[in-house]
Structure 1
């Protein structure tokens, strides 16, 4: 059995392209500038800058796209799970035959959604210890160079420069220009903080912007900014919005300022205050020097009035007399020692002289030697051998014929 197709004019045959184009025209003409509420899922930010995502509710879903020029104008960062209202047109992507919502504006459903995201991140970072006081460091008392991370065209930078110039004209300001709202703003702020830390040439950093809605300030509630502030080795002041505005950056930073102008006032002392401090130091130094000089002057005056200072000659005479007395005692001791030594020498000389063998020979004694040795006993003489006899005035040689030992010796 064959199926026959009715090709009459009542049932024309369309090509895929033709039918898709007609569907496209029907949908795009039928649903212009509509608003759709749903939850974001499968969000992807393409390298081209275009943003693709799905809007869904409990029963259906629709693809959505937002082109780069519109993404750059967003005041907040869309994330998966965020409930939004998207305004746009229904379009058909012909190559795939898919219909999608071409968004030209999206916004969170009320402030509740952003506030919930704020509270979730706040709780998470608190539990991780990013708000701990023991991690915060004091600001330098007299910074010479201040880094500022903010928009180069906003009122905040002009206010801060005005305050700094008025309070401390000598301070140097290093501006790192960044976006402060919209897609990519948080990444730029975090990168700027990291860059100043790598440079290591500023003493303190101010991160902030002027006031605005919660959506406007959202970049300073991003986790990437909070973590950049936390890892900064340079003290950071967070100055976001007005006094009533609190951001995640305020909780992580080393100090919060209610406004950018207030941050500029906190970071430097007024030059008049510093001048007054220097004056006080000078007064204290001069006073201390005057007191020291006065004390030493009194000491000198006391010395001048003393007996020793007024009677130097008497002191010199007493010292001179003491020296003379010591000299006399020294001379006496030396003379006594010399006299004693002289007598001892004379006594020793007399004794040595008395023991001189020459003097003994002079009294009639003689020294007998035989075989080169002095003979002290007759028994030691050898008969028939020559002996040398030494007298006082000469020597004689004799031959020993006989020897005789005395009795009782």
Structure 2
């Protein structure tokens, strides 16, 4: 056997070298790792929109909501704190499809990846609104809303083109206004669908056809009012880009004044209604007012574009500020508290269940060892003794009743109640003290006079 003996100093030196190399490495604790992963998720991913089905929904007394969002192949845990869920207009239910705006995070105590929901809405309306905002921001970033791209409306148009449904109320409104204000103005109608899956393609084709023919000085594109889904073809990217590429000035006249679509932002001028668009293009004595309106509209469009830019910048600054907000730390602490509360409830329920099972086992064992036969004999003996005791008690009770009757008769002869029954009374003051002299009472005192059949309450007047 070969033995190698190393010097002690050499061993110590090697250990010191190993410890030094370990100290130089970046060694994480679990808490530090989870904290840094959470910061990475929150800082890198930012705000996300998520579509999914609600399951495992719970709402503890703290007011926060905890749930799971899932689809056919995956799921993610989610929390929505009461500062955000108080703005939700419906009560979430398991199995409901929703669209949420959330930020990614990590629940550090368990190391669970989760999302913190900031807003929630049902799938249908929310999806359309999300797509609207997404396309709006995309086109704004590309500069399609810039005022420099807008074409000025002709001061005196020679021919007007109308792109709308040939059976819609919008067409009739436009024609009525043009007939009233400028009957001699030629009109070319490009009929198209203004609602449905094929409407966007038809509208874009109609705009392209009008540009290729080049027979109009200005185009009115629009329809009457409706829901967001009804007006959705005017929020289509193809329609927006076709309007932006048009060489003919376009007036967007979609819906009512409160309805806003992507076409309104991209068009050269937005009219609040189809009738207003007809007034813009028709010659009238008030054509100077039209020029003023055009300038005003340009100013409004420029202001909207500026506001859109500022809103985007404000959203980014708010997000950066929110990430440093102590509310997030409080929310995480509240989530931990809720989790510990649920764990405590589960532990109590489990302990109660174990105690019940233990009692059931003990009861079963007791029943197995129960001296039933001996107990039957004791019950029989007890019944006999009980009967004897009952008879003795009855005899004693009769004797005592007789003695009690005799004593009651003697007591009644000396009882003050007997005296009261003969017409006498006892007078007491409010403190229950018997009044024996008129000097013991004063005017205004309350007296209680006890008779044989009740009491009389009186007040001294004199």
One fold, TM greater than 0.5? Answer: no
TM bin (shorter chain):
0.3 to 0.5
Structure 2 length-normalised TM:
0.37
